Amino acid sequence: MAGEFDAHERRVWAGKAEAYDRSFAALCAGAVPALLAAAAIGPDTVLLDVGTGPGTVAAAAVALGAEVTAVDAEPGMVALAAARVPGAEVRRALLPELPFEDAAFDTVVGNFVVNHVEDPVAALAELRRVVRPGGRVAVTIWHGTANRSMDLFGQALAVAGVERMELPTLPVDFPRTAEGFAGVLAAAGWSEVEARDVAWTHRVDPEDWWAGPAGGVANVGLVVGSQSPAMRARIKEEYDRLAGERTAGDGLLELPAVALLATARR
């Protein structure tokens, strides 16, 4: 049964597929090349992509010749991914209980999904269950301190005078560092665990970036959406001002992103 954190995640993401696809999906896509390379995805790899969102990882893996099954907890994401990646089998499924037999896949990947589950160890143990002996996992989460890609929103909220909102937290958290992330995989029973930072610069139109909070995506969208119309307008005004100070010559924002990438074997 879902706890408070998992129930919160379901509420936050319900109906947000289109807004996410326009805004934050491209940011998360920045980690996909490193994720698939670390997982050694190639022709005929039998792959499970967990938390596929709009199908970004699934599409890239199909292009590499993999046999892809992709799952997501949000029906809107499943619909987007199924339409976008006809070469993959796309289903709805929620961690930490996946509807697959033991050892069903060669490899499992999850791009920014472990940070959206209440019990990361249980989720990673479930990923281990569905991978064959000797099979691999590759997963990403955001770095706890080095990632600055979302800072612009926090700055706009602060300048606008939005009060801090109490949000559910993980019952048992872990350090969002390479060492901390590796420790969670080890606790879930994985072996040969390695973790490292992956950094890139995300370039995006300011209005597409704002579409995330404006569309209610993730916790920042929950905070923005809970404000009065006047305060939402004030936040957008401050966002536009701050974004204008940070755009490059072509009018795009340049946002520094840092993720943690972990790999392991069963």
CATH of the domain at 9: 3.40.50.150
The whole-number pLDDT of residue 170 equals 78
Contact (CB, 8 A) for 85 and 54:
no
pLDDT (mean) for 18-30: 98
The verdict on residue 179 lying in a domain is yes
The whole-number pLDDT of residue 187 equals 98
Share of the chain above pLDDT 70, in %: 99
pLDDT (mean) for 24-39: 98
The verdict on residue 197 lying in a domain is yes
Q: Which spans in the chain are helix H? A: 4-13, 17-22, 24-29, 32-38, 56-63, 75-84, 120-129, 151-160, 178-187, 206-214, 218-225, 229-246
The verdict on residue 157 lying in a domain is no
CA 103/CA 93 separation, integer angstroms:
17
Count: domains in the chain: 1
pLDDT tens for each residue of 185-212: 999 999 999 999 999 999 999 999 999 9
Torsion of CA 226, 23, 201, 234, to 10 degrees: -40
pLDDT (mean) for 14-29: 97
The verdict on residue 178 lying in a domain is yes
The verdict on residue 250 lying in a domain is no
CA 230/CA 35 separation, integer angstroms:
42
Say whether pLDDT at 2 is over 80. Answer: no
The verdict on residue 227 lying in a domain is no
The verdict on residue 243 lying in a domain is no
Say whether pLDDT at 152 is over 70. Answer: yes
Domain that holds residue 141: 4-146+168-201+257-265
Among 67, 72, 61, 69, smallest CA distance to 37 is for 61
Give the Cα-Cα-Cα angle 222, 4, 119 (nearest 5 degrees). Answer: 110
The verdict on residue 246 lying in a domain is no
The whole-number pLDDT of residue 1 equals 45
Among 235, 265, 263, smallest CA distance to 134 is for 265
Chain centre to alpha carbon of residue 42 = 23
Give the range among 115-129, 156-170, 251-265 with minimum mean pLDDT: 156-170
Distances (CA, A) of 21 to 33, 55, 123, 196, 215: 18, 10, 24, 27, 11
pLDDT (mean) for 114-140: 97
- What counts of helices (H) and strands (E) characterise the chain? 12, 7
Arithmetic mean of pLDDT over the chain: 96
Tokens at 136, concatenated: 């691999």
Chain centre to alpha carbon of residue 188 = 20
Among 99, 127, 111, 106, smallest CA distance to 184 is for 127
Say whether pLDDT at 77 is over 70. Answer: yes
Q: What pTM does this model have?
A: 0.95
CA 252/CA 250 separation, integer angstroms:
6
Tokens at 253, concatenated: 């924002």
